[in-house]
Every structure is written in structure tokens, then in C-alpha cells.
Amino acid sequence: MSNIFIPNPKEAESIHIIREVAAQFEKPVLLFSGGKDSITLVRLAQKAFYPARIPFPLLHIDTGHNFPETIEFRDQLVAELGLELIVRNVQDAIDQGKVREEKGRYSSRNTLQTTTLLDAIEEFKFDACIGGARRDEEKARAKERIFSVRDDFGQWDEKNQRPELFDMLNGRIHQGQNVRVFPISNWTELDVWEYIKTEKIKIPSIYFAHKREVFMRDGMIWTANEHVYREQHEQVLEEMVRFRTVGDMTCTAAVFSQAETLDAVVEEIRASTISERGARIDDKRSESAMENRKKVGYF
């Protein structure tokens, strides 16, 4: 009986991209947030180089405001797969006076990550940073190249991008420049979830419905704990919720959910009428919030 390999076109494209990174760059790194997209990247990288190990480290920019479940998951994954993990902390940049902590009602360390990321790139001389951004997430990301060249200041020049033709990737850069690489550019949120399901990939527990202390603000469900600014009248409730994206606690809102299994989560997303980043408080700042952050070197 003939055993024929039938490719999944999106997976095949991602693996092609990840292999190009390993071949074209001296010091690549995989930006790992502990979210489902970067977990998917790890699986794709595993497949790309099997039976060899993933030939680059993971970099986590820790805001100090991550969900503890994410950090626990991260450490388990790294131990299980024998990966190299580098962690750099936003707290250090704050302590060194490089960035100032935001205050008040919508304060978040989300934008502060950029400084720590750029410092880490410089410290380790990373020339390629692999990220889990997808074009379907947000409309400025829809324009992003797969190999996106950044200047010495980490900036994105969106009007002057290299055209990407067929599947040829040009990662040639000058000293000081680096490339952000997005292997799952062409995946949708549902593609990622279906992949996690078929591949039986483990993900942090906060993606599943659980009881959590939350409060309501602007029609969104915020996590109630010491890192999230809360006014006195904002009442803390215990609700069944889950998270659709996993970012900083201060910028990731939860959704009401009873989906306790992967099947239920996938079904819920299929039926959902709110986009994934609809629960991202950081995108609500303005219509061009994402584009503006990307220009200065955000993920």
C-alpha cells in the first residue's frame, strides 16, 4: 500500500519560511509569548528540523504582568523539548529609567515591551526575529511582508517594503538591520485552532473556560488583580471566562465562555461574531494603534 504525503499548503509554506530563516541568518531567535500563535510556531519549527533540534533559541519579553499560567506553561514546554530560552524583563528597563511606567485607568506595560525587545536584539545581535503575527489579525498586519526588514532602530517602513515574489525570500541585510519573520502570516485564527486540535498541541489553561475574578469596564471583561488598575466603583465578580489571545494581563480582556475543551473552543470560535483582537485593549486606543506601534519596532 502506497503511503503518500499530502501537504497542508499553509503548514508547508510556514516550514519553508522557517527553514529559510535558519539558512539565511546567523543569529535567529523565535519570539515566544506563551500564546497559541507562538506555541504553533514552536511546533512548526520542530517539524522543520526534525530529527535535529530547533537551531535557534526562544526569546520571551516578560512584562512582569503575564498570567502566571503562561509562565508555568512556557517553562514546561522548554523543559520538555529541550529548548534554549532567553528571558528579558520590562521591569529592568523601568528600573534603569529607560521607560516610564504608565499610570492610571488604562495603564499597561504592553508598549513598554518594545524597548526591552530592541535592547535584547542588540545585546544578542539577533539578525532575525521569528514572530507569530498573522495578517488576518489586524488590517495594518495585512500589509506585512513575510521577511520584514527593520532598520537599526527597529522601525518598519511600510511604504518601502521589498516585494515578495513566488516563494523567494530575500533576507539580505546590512550591519545593524534585522528582519522580522512571520511564518504564519497566511493563517487565520481558525487555522491555528484547528491545527492545535489535529496536532494535539498543548496550550496554557487560560485558553479554556475557568472561574476568574474579573470586573467590567467599557463592555470588556478585565482581570482583577494587583497589576490591573481598578477604580473603587468597579466591582469584582467571579465569572466563567476564557482568553482568546494571551498578552499582558493589563491589555487582554477575557470573554464569557463555557468552553472547557479544545473541541468546544474551536466551535466557539467558529461561531464567534467578534474578531480576536476585539478583545485587545491595546488596539482600541485608536484606528491606527497597531500601525503606529509597528512603525517603532513593536512585534
Partner 1 sequence: MTDNRKLIKIATAGSVDDGKSTLIGRLLYDTNSLTTDKIEAIQRNSKQKGFDYLDFSLATDGLVAEREQGITIDVAHIYFSTEKANYIIADTPGHVEYTRNMVTGASTSQVAIILIDARKGVIEQTYRHFFINNLLRVSHIVVAINKMDLVEYDEETYLKIKEDFEVLIKKSNYTSDQISFIPVSALNGDNIAQKSEKMSWYVGNSLLDHLEVLEPSDLQESTAARFAVQYVIRPKTSSYHDFRGFSGKLHGGRLAVGDDITVLPSFTQSRIKTIEFFDQEYDEALPGSSVTITLEDEVNVSRGDMLVKSDELPTSEKQLSAIICQVNRKPLTVGSKLILQHGVNSVLAKVDSIESVIHTDFSGEEATEKLSLNDIGKVNFRLSKPIHFDSYVNNKNNGSFILIDEATLDTVSVGFIN
Q: Residue 21 or residue 93: which is nearer to partner 1 going by CB?
A: 21
Rg (CA), the chain: 19
Q: Residue 232 or residue 273: which is nearer to partner 1 going by CB?
A: 273
Instruction: Return the residue of 25, 67, 126, 195 that touches partner 1, per CB under 8 A.
Output: 195
219 binds partner 1 (CB under 8 A): no
C-alpha cell at 271: 461561531
190 binds partner 1 (CB under 8 A): yes
Contacts of 5 (CB under 8 A, 6+ apart): none
**CB–CB of 146/184 below 8 Å?**
no
Q: Residue 52 or residue 226: which is nearer to partner 1 going by CB?
A: 52
Q: Residue 66 or residue 185: which is nearer to partner 1 going by CB?
A: 185
135 binds partner 1 (CB under 8 A): yes
Contacts of 116 (CB under 8 A, 6+ apart): 61, 88, 89, 90, 92, 93
Which stretch, 26-34, 103-111, 166-174, 228-236, contacts partner 1 (CB under 8 A)? 166-174
4 binds partner 1 (CB under 8 A): yes
DSSP letter, residue 243: -
Rounded to a whole number of angstroms, the minimum distance from the CB of residue 61 to partner 1 is 25
191 binds partner 1 (CB under 8 A): yes
DSSP letter, residue 282: G
12 binds partner 1 (CB under 8 A): yes
Contacts of 239 (CB under 8 A, 6+ apart): 211, 212, 214, 221, 254, 256
202 binds partner 1 (CB under 8 A): no
Rounded to a whole number of angstroms, the minimum distance from the CB of residue 286 to partner 1 is 10
3-state secondary structure of 289: helix
Task: Please give the Cα distance from 226 to 247 (Å, whole number).
Answer: 16
Which residue from 215, 275, 276 is spatially nearest to 249, judged by alpha carbons?
A: 215
The count of chain residues that interact with partner 1, using the rule CB under 8 A, is: 63
**CB–CB of 285/279 below 8 Å?**
no
Segment 54 to 93, residues that bind partner 1, using CB under 8 A: none
- Contacts with partner 1 by CB under 8 A lie at 2-13, 15-16, 19-20, 22-23, 46-53, 135-136, 139-140, 142-143, 158-159, 161-168, 170, 172-174, 185-186, 188, 190-191, 194-195, 198-199, 272-275, 278, 287-288, 291
